[in-house]
Chains A and B, each alone.
Chain A
Amino acid sequence: QQQVKQSPQSLIVQKGGISIINCAYENTAFDYFPWYQQFPGKGPALLIAIRPDVSEKKEGRFTISFNKSAKQFSLHIMDSQPGDSATYFCAASRLKAAGNKLTFGGGTRVLVKP
């Protein structure tokens, strides 16, 4: 059972454009929602994360929007750059559950064209 659904699977955007990736979750007990960035052949690295007590969090060109009632959250990459070309994963976890296990979405491959 896939508890975090991510879309689209791939995305092509022109340099300077906005990349938008969406995730939907089922488990209302989730209370931590990170986004990871992964370059080919490398391990994922935390990009930005949000807790459900806020509706938006911005760090530089990256913004998470969170809609608790809809059980959805999204990543916006503003002014996309070729160096942003990577695979992005959303994830969710229950912070106080044993192991603090992350459940990942399927990933979105983003290509930023110069």
Chain B
Amino acid sequence: DGGITQSPKYLFRKEGQNVTLSCEQNLNHDAMYWYRQDPGQGLRLIYYSQIVNDFQKGDIAEGYSVSREKKESFPLTVTSAQKNPTAFYLCASRGQAFSSYEQYFGPGTRLTVT
């Protein structure tokens, strides 16, 4: 089955710890994205990557870091510098530029930091 997988579904961490969220896609998509969703709010873009070994900051990149060493993988690290890390994190991917507009979303990871 083609799609986007995010693991784990639920993640709990203590304040001050870094945590890495996994995102893998087998759609052969070039572009990948990370969004954050807070209760009752829309999605806000954290980082995006259009090709391997390249990524750009989104609207709320502070306190987060990413890497794109492989086309199919785009892990997100939530660092201890992120002031309000508890949220629902969504990964998305999109096909070749200008040939596919749709962003496909993964099932999300709910991160709780206490």
Contacts and interface: CB of A to CB of B under 8 A. Distances in A.
Nearest to B55: A99
Interface string A35-51: 01000011111100100
A104 interface: yes
B56 A98 contact: yes
A89 B43 contact: yes
Interface string A1-39: 000101001000000000000000000000010101000
Interface of A: 4, 6, 9, 32, 34, 36, 41-46, 49, 89, 93, 95-96, 98-102, 104-107
Nearest to B103: A102
Contacts of A100: 31, 94, 97, 101, 103
Contact of A104 (B31, B40, B42, B50): B42
A22 B63 CA distance: 33
A56 B103 CA distance: 22
